[in-house]
Amino acid sequence: MARWALLLALLLVGFQSQAQLWQPVKPLSADYLLWSPTRRLRPSDFQAKVRPQNNLNQSFAFFGIRMQGLNMDLLGKGANHMVQNFFQHSVSYLDPADTLHTALELRYMQTQWDIYEVAARRLRQQLRASAKRIILLGKPDANELFQTAYDEANKRVIQYADETKYGLFLDKQLEWERQLASELTVLADFATAK
Break the chain into its structural domains and give their ranges: 2-190
Segment 151-156 mean pLDDT: 97
Say what the pTM is.
0.84
H/E segment holding residue 156: helix 142-164
Mean local confidence (pLDDT), 61-68? 93
The 10s digit of each residue's pLDDT in 163-176 is 999 999 999 999 99
Q: Identify each DSSP E strand in the chain by its residue range.
A: 32-34, 60-67, 83-93
pLDDT > 60? residue 15: no
